[in-house]
Amino acid sequence: MTPRFLNAGNAGPFTLDGTRTFLVGRSEIAVIDPGPALEAHVGAVECAVQDADSVVILLTHGHEDHTGAAFDLAERTGAQIVGPNGVQSVDTTIETGDSVTTDQGELVALHTPGHTPEHLSYVWPDRKAVFVGDLLLGAGDTTWVGEYPGCVADYLLSLDLVRALRPEVLYPAHGAALENPTEAIDRFAEHRRGRIEQVRRAMSDHPESDIEGWVDLVYGAQLPDTLRGAAYRSLSALADYVRDSHNP
């Protein structure tokens, strides 16, 4: 059984075709990542859950494209907002091993930091599936990793955690379901490790340079201005990883 989802339609370079709001359950529904505060999307989610006996809103992390609709949807449906510690709109915090019940099975929280420090994934044991938020995307080989010190090491460990579960399908919040989880996880891990090696070489070959210079070396001088800020932060995180002698 595949979960229902509604796409918020907020397409962009970091959101692909938009945020997917997943609905698990029919009478006892978990709404995973209600999406941005777009009235058409909030209304569509409200309509989809209106006949449920109970509704709970689950957040994977605090980014606005996942949480913006949470408060409004909670007001309209009476749902509790459940998610990781540190996310402002959360009524009840949840951490690894905690579960939420739906009539289609339990969803079990798993701390998977890297994209953000608080990021949670939700394991759906009955379907051998994992809702991975922004840990992976449904296309390509990279996601945003550059938000906080230590994020690169956290990210690689989180990929290992999800791989060890041996799921049969992954549901990212942006893009299509990943039906070959091991291949997808390996692809994202290999991309990140490839970037680490590029940064390691740039730092070794051009020690006199700085982050700006290394950005040009790694990403190319023709990088669009709209992506340069993200590239700067991402490379800063990669450089911190390289500088940490404990990291491979």
pLDDT digits (tens, 9 = 90+) for 41-68: 999 999 999 999 999 999 999 999 999 9
Residue 246 has pLDDT above 70, yes or no: no
Q: What is the pLDDT of residues 159-193, one digit of tens each?
A: 999 999 999 999 999 999 999 999 999 999 999 99
What is the model's pLDDT at position 245? Answer: 66
Q: Which fold has domain 4-179?
A: Metallo-beta-lactamase; Chain A (3.60.15)
Tell if the pTM clears 0.85, that is, is over it.
Answer: yes
Give one word for 98, left, alpha or beta, with left for phi > 0 and alpha for psi -120 to 50: beta
Q: Domains of the chain: which residue ranges?
A: 4-179
Q: What is the 3-state secondary structure (H, E, C) of 2-55?
A: CCEEEECCCCECCCECCEEEEEECCCEEEEECCCCCCHHHHHHHHHHHCCCCEE
Helix or strand (DSSP H, E) at 87: none
Q: What is the pLDDT of residues 114-154, one digit of tens each?
A: 999 999 999 999 999 999 999 999 999 999 999 999 999 99
Q: Are 232 and 212 in contact (CB under 8 A)?
A: yes
What is the model's pLDDT at position 54? Answer: 97
Q: What is the pLDDT of residues 207-219, one digit of tens each?
A: 999 999 999 999 9
What is the model's pLDDT at position 223? Answer: 87
